[in-house]
Amino acid sequence: MHRYKRPIFGLVTIGAVITALLGSGAASASTSSTATVHPAWTKAYVSPRGSSHSSGRSCRTAKFASINAAIANVHSYGTVVVCRGTYHTQAVIKKPLTLIGERAVIDAKGQKPVLPKLPGGSGIVVLGTRHVTISGFRVIRAGFDAILVGLSSHVRVTGNVLEHNGDVGVDFNGTSLSVASHNVANFNHGGGFLVADDVGPSGHDTVSWNVASHNPGGCGVIIAGHAKFGVRDNWVAHNLLTDNGTLPKLSGAGVVIATEVPGETVSGNTVKANRIYGNGIAGVTIHAHVPGQNLNGNKIIGNWIGRNNVVGDPIGLKPPAHNVPDLRTTGILVGASSHVHVIISGNHISRNWYGIFLEGRVSATLHHNHFRRVRIQVKVVA
């Protein structure tokens, strides 16, 4: 089973969760502060030693000990600076603002989910807003995502370290025009970075200049259709994606573009200039498991891809395709029960049995790919 399938919960569950949160105020109830909200600041400082009696002009004179209390008390488009220390919390953002960590750690172990149906809490949650920036945090031990962004736009997640969390490092869900860049996502159970559509369409998001490594049960970057809203025109570029999805029953790729939902669209996405090796299935993998899906127009361009598919890929295509597992090391794999056209161009592929593996109802435009120490450059299984 691949982690893009979201086996822990279904699309109805997470959709209900986020919709209820936006309308119910449950996010406020999840905060650790009982302070009265008096928005008065354009910039607020948080410190483990913060005190309401302090001036609030620096980390040394921080007025808040709670991240959520500072968020509640800062104006929209204001800034919350979280000073050095460890915070046992789940920060929830529902308005435009900048959240900056200065050697700050969010340890989300044991945090309650924002609603009970989620499998656990997250470190930072952005819901139903826009123009949010999150930078400079180390987020660890969340039961669910390190950073979850739902039904939002123009969100920047940059310069964070996301480790040992229950699902992925950064989850863009029903989110558009957002960027995850210069983050490190390691040792997360479900993968590094996810762009999905459980609660609404996701499009024109960018995952770039990140590291995703040793995420055992998932892919480095997951572009996945979980509902029928669509995941379109996203960019995955200049990332280092290594040793992900190496558990035999939860194998994962460096980058996967996939869906199992009939009638779903995951189209027009570009995977460019990434360095990818050591992952459980092919370095870049496209799976269209059933007929009637739209995975057209995806592009795999100019990547450096070493040895991948170290676990082996059952692929799992449904009729009319004839499913043939790929059990050899492979650079790029496209398997489709739907008619899918993909562009594969300018990639450097090395140290694999198969350079490019195409199976099922696949039409591929192949240009100027380079192969070194590859036994079979292009394998086609009709």
Interval 207-228 mean pLDDT: 96
CATH superfamily of 3-35+102-381: Single-stranded right-handed beta-helix, Pectin lyase-like (2.160.20.10)
Distance separating alpha carbons of residues 123 and 101, to the nearest angstrom: 13
Interval 80-100 mean pLDDT: 98
Q: How many CA atoms lie within 13 A of 289 on its CB side?
A: 19
Interval 207-226 mean pLDDT: 97
Sign of the CA dihedral running 111, 112, 118, 120: positive
To the nearest whole number, what is the mean pLDDT of the chain?
91
- Taking only the tens place, the pLDDT of each residue in 39-69 is 568 999 999 999 999 999 999 999 999 999 9
Distance separating alpha carbons of residues 102 and 48, to the nearest angstrom: 13
Distance separating alpha carbons of residues 175 and 150, to the nearest angstrom: 6
What DSSP letter does each residue of 335-363 carry, written as one string?
EEEEEEEEEEES-EEEEEEEEEEEEEEEE
At residue 260, the 3 state secondary structure works out as: coil
What percent of the chain has a predicted confidence (pLDDT) above 90?
A: 86
What percent of the chain has a predicted confidence (pLDDT) above 70?
A: 89
Interval 354-376 mean pLDDT: 98
Query: For residue 248, what pLDDT is reported?
Result: 87
Q: What is the phi/psi pair of residue 206, to 5°?
A: -130, 130
Distance separating alpha carbons of residues 314 and 324, to the nearest angstrom: 7
- Taking only the tens place, the pLDDT of each residue in 220-251 is 999 999 999 999 999 999 999 999 999 988 89
Q: Which residue has the tokens 């499913």?
A: 323
Q: Which residues contact 198 (CB under 8 A, 6 or more apart)?
A: 6, 11, 14, 15, 173, 174, 226, 227
CA dist list (Å): 70 to 130, 142, 206, 224: 18, 21, 29, 34
pLDDT at 137 over 60: yes
Count, in order, helices (H) and strands (E) of the chain: 3, 31
Interval 346-367 mean pLDDT: 98
- pLDDT confidence tier of residue 12, bands split at 50, 70 and 90: very low
Distance separating alpha carbons of residues 272 and 52, to the nearest angstrom: 49
- pLDDT confidence tier of residue 26, bands split at 50, 70 and 90: very low
What's the first-to-final CA gap in the chain, in angstroms? Answer: 23
User: Quick one: 61 exposed, middle or buried, by C-beta within 10 A (0-12, 13-18, 19+)?
Assistant: middle
